[in-house]
Amino acid sequence: MGLNYYHIKKNILRARKLVIKSTSVAGSGHPGGSFSMAEILGCLFYKHLKFDPSNPSWENRDRLVLSKGHASPGLFSNMAVAGYFPESELDTLRKFGSRLQGHPDLKCPGVEFCGGSLGTGLSYSIGVALAAKIDNKDHHVYTIIGDGESDEGQIWEAAMTASKYKLDNLTAFLDRNFIQQDSYTEQVMPLDEELVGDDISEMWKDASRWKTGDKWRSFGWNVLEIDGHRIEQISAAIEKANTTKGVPTIIICRTIKGNAVEHMEDNPQWHGKAPDLDIVPLINLELDSQFMIAPSIIAGDMTNLANEVKRCINGRADYIHLDVMDGQFVPAKTFDHNKIKELRSITPIPFDSHLMISEPVKHVRDYAEAGSDIITVHAEVCDESSFGEIHDLLKQHQVSVGLAINPETDLPEWSYKFLPTLDQLIVMSVVPGKSGQKYIPETHKKMSSLSPILKEHNFIGYVEADGGVTLENVGSCFEDGARAFVGGSSMIGQNNVREAIREFRHEILRARRKVLLEKAHQLGGSDLVNKWIGLHVVGKKKEKITKIAKETGLI
Amino acid sequence: MSDMRTEYSKTLIELGRVNQNIVVLGADTTDSLKTAAFGKEFPNRFFNVGIAEGNLVSVSAGLAASGKISFASTYAIFLPGRAVDQIRNGIAYPSPPGKKGLDVKLVVSHGGLSVGPDGGSHQQIEDIAIMRAIPNFRVFIPADTIAVSKLVLLMANEYGPFYMRMARSKTPIVHSESQEFQIGKGITLRDGSDCTIAACGITVRMALEAAEELQQEGISCRVLDMFSVKPIDGDLLEKAARETGGIVTCEEHNIFGGLGSAVAESVSERYPVLVKRIGVQDMFGESARDNEIQLLLEKHGITSFNMIKQVKEIRSKKL
């Protein structure tokens, strides 16, 4: 089974938007902690959790206990996306008479635990897990605790108890976002080490300072430490936890409070505050503008692709683009599914397999089974029937579905019906089959003519820019609507891949900030521009955004 | 004289044999509470969570939310006195559709002053007030082992949160084996027409002694066992107020928020008569060895002698 990468990602995006909508309408709530655990909930709800929204009290369901109950907007939003109740009900958050209370409540069917008073959910989960053991049930208990919450002594009472009873049917997630209500955790009550300066990123950079895992290990838990915003890491950790016997598992997820909205990120102010209504459209646009970077390893050393994969991982790529060429559809030949299978064993990082092959319908199953997470086939070698077959097969395998078009190809009309469920669209900006080509400038025009078609047919997937993408043109690709960026020689061809990816991110971020500034100006003139800039209080963001605003004449 | 904890343990084991959903939890006092015996017979339904009362309550809640009937026990001072948040937000507040609270029974020992030698730090005199104030909780204070046994069975058969406070010391039997116990129904142990004494727990015996002595002086005193402090039996109290004209309450608890308050609240709304409340006068207890517990109770006026005095005072004001 694939990771279901884009499916999870799209639902997380929907849930994040609902968090913003509901808290802003309610005028209060906790978006920061909802966003730090967004990917954790996404992986649970859209991949691992067993549940039935039409029968919330189904006996064999997995139990999800949100111990850090103040992040209820995150829970409720995902429950709505998962089908427990209509998304419109989120508008009643915290409202008199609503099932959606300020903190999770059994009033809302599907909620497992009345959270709010911190420190108690892990003990409660132990009770739930013990009951499952008594009854010989094999459902699993997943509990999300906070790092601020870990100040509570009862967390450690529970840590001892779960260990004593060998509760391997209990998995805890620590949403390690480094922020609690007053300030940074390492200033209020250090869980790792006391923070000396004001820069929380100091804690991120130096793994030798992370002590939290050791604490849990010493309590007898199986400890997994991951990046809590990376779907593949969360998913792999859950799988590992579920197969670990005789001990409970805690997955320590290093996260960013307010993740995905720049002005909220790492900002203690957003622990328990709702965004102003006039900022909401900007936040939504920002959420729609999340982007991913995917180096193409064939631009590296073809004789040691495993090493290229490792370089991408170390370089913090979002996923890896695998160009499969068969020597027929394109003149060149690279590798096939056997290579992908071999590379799969190295890492859980998502594999974005771009099949530049003839008759993909005949081979696509091999690529799914080899461990691809996204598979893109070319429109030139498909028709409605064969693509339909590919589409359904990939969805069954929890593999995201992509369609690619060559520079001279228009998006075929038969593909329109697939657009609502299509996960990825690659608009090639070079002729595939040869590396080292230059970006074809006409692609910009093509993108702008495609954009209304995609909108009209409810495409909510990601456009991937592929071919000749460089630091010089990546910003304009973003402005065209691309959200995934394949880097060839400009990325993997560099000695320092990490630095190259960082520079790409920087350029895209710059383009995104510009787009957001323009939107702010369009919605509320320089007042809104200034207000939005003013929200960016952490680090040097404000200066950087102000500079862009001045350059573009918006202030 | 018989021991409430022994009776509690015996009843739990009987219950455990017929009801697979009964689970018992303790916090390092399972030997004292005698619940360890349940663990011997049903090791997979017995959990000792260590000296961690918040944990005890929350784990009990989790089990109850999964269809179990949790009996969680330790000393009174460490449950309402320590884990009130877990009790409120973890047991009383969470209400599955159509239900009120979770199915957890908090059964404590060592309530009140009669804890004795451990001293004031261990004499829980606020628990009735705390537990009465929490919505969805029902509060029982049994007077003897017959009440203990019957109330445990009653709680097991009635969904929802209960608090039951037992005494540390052995108690005499005041009820007959055939006595029925119902939620919210007091028991008239002795009829009378001149005044009423409403008592709970160990003070029930004192009330019966007081009534007996008053009888010698020609005063007919009614004695009520108000074991169900919440819900309180308003009908029985109104009847007593109408028919006897005054009520003395007595409990080993602070004067605020306990049985006396419950009686006064009820009577003042339905048929106001004089109510005299005997209890700890808003202060703390202190150590008293087992043979001195009587002295400690006397210091706080929790005696049949004081009941007689208060009955007479009510009568003098009535006349």
| Per-domain boundaries in chain A | 5-276, 291-493, 495-555
Q: Do B58 and A116 touch (CB under 8 A)?
A: no
Q: What is the pLDDT of residue A74?
A: 98
| Domain containing residue B314 | 187-318
What ipTM score was computed for the predicted complex, to two decimals? 0.95
- In chain B, residues with a C-beta closer than 8 Å to the C-beta of A116 are 89
Do B74 and B218 lie in one domain? The reply is no
Q: What is the pLDDT of residue A436?
A: 76
Q: Kindly report the number of other CB atoms within 10 A of residue B191's CB atom.
A: 12
Q: Kindly report the number of other CB atoms within 10 A of residue A239's CB atom.
A: 13
Q: Do A126 and B96 touch (CB under 8 A)?
A: no
CATH number at residue B106: 3.40.50.970
Do B223 and B257 lie in one domain? The reply is yes
Q: Do A130 and B89 touch (CB under 8 A)?
A: no
Residue with tokens 């709505």: A80
pLDDT > 60? residue A477: yes
Tens of pLDDT, residue by residue over A64-116, are 999 999 999 999 999 999 999 999 999 999 999 999 999 999 999 999 999 98
Measured between CA atoms, the residue of chain B closest to residue A113 is B94
Domain boundary among B134, B165, B196: B165
| Ramachandran class of A173: left when φ > 0, alpha when ψ lies in -120 to 50, beta otherwise | beta
- In chain A, residues with a C-beta closer than 8 Å to the C-beta of B161 are none
Mutate which of A85, A111, A154, A156 to disrupt the B interface (most B C-beta within 10 Å)?
A154
| Distance to chain B for A217, nearest Cα, Å | 20
Do B259 and B212 lie in one domain? The reply is yes
| Distance to chain B for A253, nearest Cα, Å | 24
The verdict on residue B180 lying in a domain is no
The verdict on residue B171 lying in a domain is no
Lowest mean pLDDT among A430-439, A474-483, B65-74, B260-269: A430-439
Q: What is the pLDDT of residue A212?
A: 95
Do B236 and B292 lie in one domain? The reply is yes
| Section A25-48 average pLDDT | 96
Instruction: Return per-residue pLDDT of chain B as tens, 319 residues.
Output: 999 999 999 999 999 999 999 999 999 999 999 999 999 999 999 999 999 999 999 999 999 999 999 999 999 999 999 999 999 999 999 999 999 999 999 999 999 999 999 999 999 999 999 999 999 999 999 999 999 999 999 999 999 999 999 999 999 999 999 999 999 999 999 999 999 999 999 999 999 999 999 999 999 999 999 999 999 999 999 999 999 999 999 999 999 999 999 999 999 999 999 999 999 999 999 999 999 999 999 999 999 999 999 999 999 987 5
pLDDT classification of A208: cutoffs 50, 70, 90: confident
Q: Which CATH superfamily is domain A5-276 in?
A: Thiamin diphosphate (ThDP)-binding fold, Pyr/PP domains (3.40.50.970)
- When CB atoms are compared, the residue of B49, B67, B89 closest to A161 is B49
| pLDDT, chain A, mean | 96
- In chain A, residues with a C-beta closer than 8 Å to the C-beta of B58 are 120-121, 123-124, 126-127, 154, 158
CA B256 to CA B280: how far, in whole Å? 9
- When CB atoms are compared, the residue of B45, B55, B93 closest to A158 is B55
- In chain B, residues with a C-beta closer than 8 Å to the C-beta of A119 are 54
φ, ψ dihedrals at A298, nearest 5°: -70, -15
Tens of pLDDT, residue by residue over A42-60, are 999 999 999 999 999 999 9
Select the CATH number that applies to the domain covering A291-493 from these four: 3.10.310.40, 3.30.1370.60, 2.60.40.10, 3.20.20.70: 3.20.20.70
What share of chain A in percent tops pLDDT 90? 93
Total domains in the fold of chain B: 2
- When CB atoms are compared, the residue of A109, A116, A120 closest to B58 is A120
CA B312 to CA B276: how far, in whole Å? 11
Domain boundary among B165, B200, B220: B165
The verdict on residue B113 lying in a domain is yes
- In chain A, residues with a C-beta closer than 8 Å to the C-beta of B97 are 106-107, 109
Mutual orientation of helices A121-134 and B53-65 as an angle, nearest 10°? 50
The verdict on residue B34 lying in a domain is yes
Structure token pair of residue B309:
């005095």
- Give Cα A150 distance to the centre of its chain: 25
Measured between CA atoms, the residue of chain A closest to residue B43 is A134
pLDDT classification of A117: cutoffs 50, 70, 90: very high
Measured between CA atoms, the residue of chain B closest to residue A58 is B66
| Distance to chain B for A92, nearest Cα, Å | 19
Residue B72: partners with Cβ closer than 8 Å, 6 or more residues away: B24, B25, B26, B56, B57, B60, B79, B104, B105, B106, B107
- In chain B, residues with a C-beta closer than 8 Å to the C-beta of A112 are 65
Comparing C-alpha atoms, which of B47, B127, B61 is closest to residue B89?
B61
CA A476 to CA A150: how far, in whole Å? 45
Do B300 and B255 lie in one domain? The reply is yes
The verdict on residue B59 lying in a domain is yes
| Residues of B involved in catalysis | 53
The verdict on residue B170 lying in a domain is no
| Section A193-219 average pLDDT | 84
Q: What is the pLDDT of residue B319?
A: 56
The verdict on residue B82 lying in a domain is yes
pLDDT classification of A341: cutoffs 50, 70, 90: very high
How big is the A-B interface in CB pairs under 8 Å?
A: 103
- Beginning with the edge strand found earlier in the chain, give each strand of the sheet holding B228-230 in spatial order: B46-48, B22-26, B69-75, B104-109, B162-165, B138-140, B228-230
Tens of pLDDT, residue by residue over A320-340, are 999 999 999 999 999 999 999
Tens of pLDDT, residue by residue over A510-555, are 999 999 999 999 999 999 999 999 999 998 999 999 999 999 999 8
The verdict on residue B214 lying in a domain is yes
If interface means Cβ-Cβ distance under 8 Å, which residues of chain B face chain A?
23, 44-45, 47, 49-50, 52, 54-55, 57-68, 70, 85-86, 89-90, 93-97
